[in-house]
Structure 1
Amino acid sequence: MKDQHAVTILIQPFKDLKSENAIGLANEIKKVYPHVSILEPIDFPKNTYYEPRKRYRADSVISYLSRNTKDGFVTIGLTSKDISFTKGKIKDFGIMGLGLRPGNACIASSFRLNKNNSDEQFFKIAIHELGHTQGLKHCPVKTCFMRDAEGKNPTNEETDFCKKCKQFLINKNWKFNSI
């Protein structure tokens, strides 16, 4: 039986992502949040491509995903393409992921990940962005999945959600018996 207030996480792969990456990520997310479904891969909306830097605008992709996400669902877009957004005075800042806080959509990219443990890093980026959709801010604990990347890739130092972030998510029907 489904939890009364639980949302369903929809994994929306873009066509560039290998299906085994989406399936592997879904299986990892199910360890901490059981209500997960994988959608059929789609093309990026044409208006999300930023030609000068050959990147996809994460904020535009999230807007698209958000408009197409019904109440009771959160959609995470997955891609292997380079994504970006405007950060301060930098119009096209390359990122690994972006999520609305709180919100119903986020995106994670494997483009900037280290190749030797990219599956683990991709999970950490995805779970971080999903945390934002649930309302979590960046966390000062350096080993927490919710820490701010600060323009780098700190995922190898991240081991779990800290106690405070984990409790916040438990209150949102997340389960942590398998992580």
Structure 2
Amino acid sequence: MNYFLAVSMVISCKKEHVPKPVISMHPKTILIQPFKGIASVHVDEIASAIREIYPEIKVLKAIDFPTNSYYAPRNRYRADSIIKYLSSMAPENTIILGLTTKDISATKGSNPDFGIIGLGFRPGNACVASSFRLRNGNKNEQFSKVAIHELGHTQGLPHCREKTCFMRDAEGGNPTDEEKDFCKKCKEFLKTKNWNFN
């Protein structure tokens, strides 16, 4: 079985350079929105991983998926519909990260329902990550990396050519075990968005 790491908005990830940063004077709060069915311990682990590099985090109570996101033919949920829903409920100056254990999908090229593990619009105020397609023994660590990758897209980061960077393009596989950190260029960009790196 192949595992797929989500692109940000599939159409928008063609550029491979880090955009010119615009310094943010007001830090945004990342709201972690679990969907029902995910264990709170996994949500807490992801929150802790994000908090190490971005301290403004708030975990919300679990909710149901929006009804229009369910794709019955494949028993999965449409990531773009989830993001639109999360975006519509995001207060000003926040980013919402949806977390789920359910299968999610998005349109990719001629495939109208491509299974993914995350999606984040670039830039945007919402993204979603799923653990459904993560099968290795260190699933929780991989899940955290997927969440951080999608948050990177919401900040405006494209995919990165550095193979050990969290923003690496999965290219149809699951390279999360090779990813160690954000690369220097991606870190410098995120610092302008109030991300903290030692």
Q: Which interval holds the TM-score relative to the shorter structure?
A: over 0.9
**Cα offset for 1:82?**
0.5
Identity %: 63
Counterpart of 2:105 in structure 1 is 84
**Partner SS state of residue 30, structure 2:** strand
1:44 paired to 2:65: yes
- Choose from 162, 178, 182 the match for 1:161: 182
- Choose from 12, 34, 39 the match for 1:18: 39
Alpha-carbon distance in 2 for matches of 1:33, 1:9: 8
Matching residue's letter, 2:177: N
- Choose from 85, 105, 114 the match for 1:93: 114
Alpha-carbon distance in 1 for matches of 2:196, 2:144: 16
**Cα offset for 1:71?**
1.4
1:126 paired to 2:147: yes
**Cα offset for 1:4?**
4.7
**Partner SS state of residue 107, structure 2:** strand
Contact 1:95 1:151 in 2 (8 A): no
**Cα offset for 1:114?**
2.4
Matching residue's letter, 2:118: G
Counterpart of 2:81 in structure 1 is 60
Alpha-carbon distance in 2 for matches of 1:159, 1:62: 27
Counterpart of 1:139 in structure 2 is 160
Matching residue's letter, 2:50: I
What RMSD, in angstroms, separates the aligned Cα atoms of the two structures? 1.0
Unaligned runs of 5+ in 1: none
Matching residue's letter, 1:81: K
- Which string of whole-angstrom CA distances, capped at 9 and with x for unpartnered residues, describes residues 137-162 of structure 1? 00111111001112211101111101
**Partner SS state of residue 132, structure 1:** helix
Alignment coverage as a number of residue pairs? 175
1:173 paired to 2:182: no
Alpha-carbon distance in 2 for matches of 1:61, 1:11: 14
Q: What does 1:98-117 align with in structure 2 at a 5 Å threshold?
A: 98-117=119-138
**Partner SS state of residue 93, structure 1:** strand
**Partner SS state of residue 71, structure 1:** coil
Counterpart of 2:21 in structure 1 is none
Contact 1:107 1:129 in 2 (8 A): yes
Matching residue's letter, 1:141: E
- The structure whose RCO (Cα within 8 Å, separation 6+) is larger is 2
1:148 paired to 2:172: no
Alpha-carbon distance in 2 for matches of 1:54, 1:4: 43
Matching residue's letter, 2:105: S
TM-score (norm. length: structure 1): 0.95
Unaligned runs of 5+ in 2: 1-23
Structure 1 runs of 4+ with >4 Å offset: none
Alpha-carbon distance in 2 for matches of 1:136, 1:110: 22
Q: Give the stretch that moved more between structures: 38-47 or 147-156.
A: 147-156
